[in-house]
Structure 1
Amino acid sequence: MAVCGVLLAAALSLGGCSTKGGLKVVLTGGLSRNELFSVNKAAMTLPEAKLLLMTELARYRNLYGEEMLSRQFGGQTLEESVKESTLDLMGKLLVMDEMADKYQIRLNEEDTANILSASAEYMDTLTETEKAFTGASESDVQHLFEKALLADRVYAELTGEQTIEVSDDEARVVTVRHIFISTAGSGQTGNAGEEASADESQAIAAAGDAYNRAMSAYDQLRQGADFDSMAQQYSDDAQEEYQVARGDVEQKLEEALFSLDTGELSTVMQNSTGYHIFLCVNNFDREATDQNKQKLLEERRWEAFEQTYNAFARDQVCQFSQRKWDAITLDGEEITNTGLYDVYRSRFGG
Structure 2
Amino acid sequence: MRNRRMKYLGIIAVLLMLTFTACSGKKDNKTNDNTNKELKQSNVTDSNEEDNTEPTVKTDATILTVGDIKVPYNEVMVYVLLLKELYEPNFTNVIWDYKLDTGATFGQMAREEVLNQIIQLKIMTMEAHNFNTVLTDDELIEIENYANEYLAGIKEEDREKYGIDYDTVFKICKDNFLSEKVFDVATMDVDTSISDEEAKQVTVYQIEVSTASKDKNGEVIALSDEEKEAALNKAKKLLKKVKKEEDFYTFALSNSDDSQVEYTIGRGDKSDEYIDAAFALEEGKISKVIEDESGYYILYCVDSFNEDATAQKKEEIISQRQDEAFQKLYKEWLGNYKVKIKQEIWDEIQF
In structure 2, how many angstroms separate the alpha carbons of the residues matched to 1:106 and 1:286? 37
Amino acid at match of 1:120: N
CA contact (8 A) 2:133 2:182 kept: yes
d(CA) in 2 for partners of 1:10, 1:166:
26
User: What letter is aligned with 2:149?
Assistant: E
For normalisation by structure 2, the TM-score amounts to: 0.74
Task: Map 1:251-290 to 2 at 5 A.
Answer: 251-290=272-311
CA distance in structure 2 between the partners assigned to 1:320 and 1:307 by the alignment? 24
Distance 2:271 2:100 in 1: 25
Match of 1:78 in 2: 106
How much has 1:99 moved relative to structure 2? 0.5
CA distance in 2, matches of 1:69, 1:147: 27
In structure 2, relative to structure 1, the CA distance for the partners of 1:9 and 1:66 (3 Å cut) is closer
- Alpha-carbon distance in structure 2 between the residues aligned to 1:282 and 1:65: 42
Q: Give the aligned residue type for 2:72.
A: T
- Name the amino acid aligned to 2:63: L
Q: Is the 8 A contact 1:173 1:284 kept in 2?
A: yes
- The secondary structure found in structure 1 opposite 2:108 is helix
Determine if the alignment matches structure 1 residue 232 to structure 2 residue 253.
yes
Query: What is the rounded CA distance, in whole Å, between the counterparts of 1:318 and 1:140 in structure 2?
Result: 21
**In the alignment, structure 1 residue 157 sits paired with structure 2 residue 173:** no
How far the C-alpha of 1:2 sits from its partner, in A, is: 4.4
1:127-154 deviation per Cα after TM superposition (whole angstroms, max 9, x unaligned): 2344356431111000101111110111
Tell me if 1:41 matches 2:68. Answer: yes
After the TM superposition, which residues 59-208 of structure 1 pair with which residues of structure 2 at under 5 Å, given as runs? 59-62=86-89, 64=91, 66-75=93-102, 76-132=104-160, 134-185=162-213, 206-208=227-229
Are the equivalent residues in 2 in contact too, given 1:260–1:280 (CA < 8 A)?
yes
Aligned to 1:222: 243
1:284 to partner: Cα distance: 0.9
CA distance 1:132–1:264, change in 2 (3 Å): farther
39-48 or 93-102: bigger deviation = 39-48
Counterpart secondary structure, 1:72: coil
Name the CA shift for 1:182/1:33 in 2 (closer, same or farther; >3 Å): same
The alpha carbon displacement at 1:123 in A equals 1.2
Residue 289 of structure 1 and its aligned partner are, at CA, apart by 0.9
> Quick one: which amino acid aligns to residue 134 of structure 2?
R
C-alpha distance in structure 1 between counterparts of 2:90 and 2:271, whole Å = 28
**Residue 327 (1) aligns with residue 333 (2):** no
State the Cα distance separating 1:275 from its structure 2 match: 2.3
Q: CA 1:249–1:325 in 2, change beyond 3 Å: closer, same or farther? A: farther
Q: Is the 8 A contact 1:185 1:203 kept in 2?
A: no
Q: CA RMSD in A?
A: 3.0
> What's the % identity of the aligned pairs?
24
In the alignment of these two chains, the number of paired residues is 297
Cα offsets for 1:65-122 (capped at 9, x unmatched): 5444433222222222222222221121011011113334222322222222211111
SS in 2 for 1:175: strand
1:287-302 aligned within 5 A: 287-302=308-323
In 2, Cα distance between the equivalents of 1:300 and 1:263? 35
Residue 286 of structure 1: how far off its partner (Å) = 0.5
Matched-pair contact (CA < 8 Å) for 1:56–1:86: no
Aligned residue for 2:301, secondary structure, equals strand
TM-score scaled to structure 1, two decimals? 0.74
Report the residue type matching 2:69 in the other structure.
A
Q: Structure 1 CA distance, aligned partners of 2:189 and 2:293?
A: 45
Q: Pick 1 or 2: higher relative contact order, CA cutoff 8 A, min separation 6.
A: 1
CA contact under 8 A between 1:186 and 1:207: conserved in structure 2? no
Asked if 1 retains the 8 angstrom alpha-carbon contact of 2:8 and 2:117, the reply is no
Supply the AA of the counterpart residue of 1:319.
Answer: K
| 2:53 alignment partner in structure 1 | none
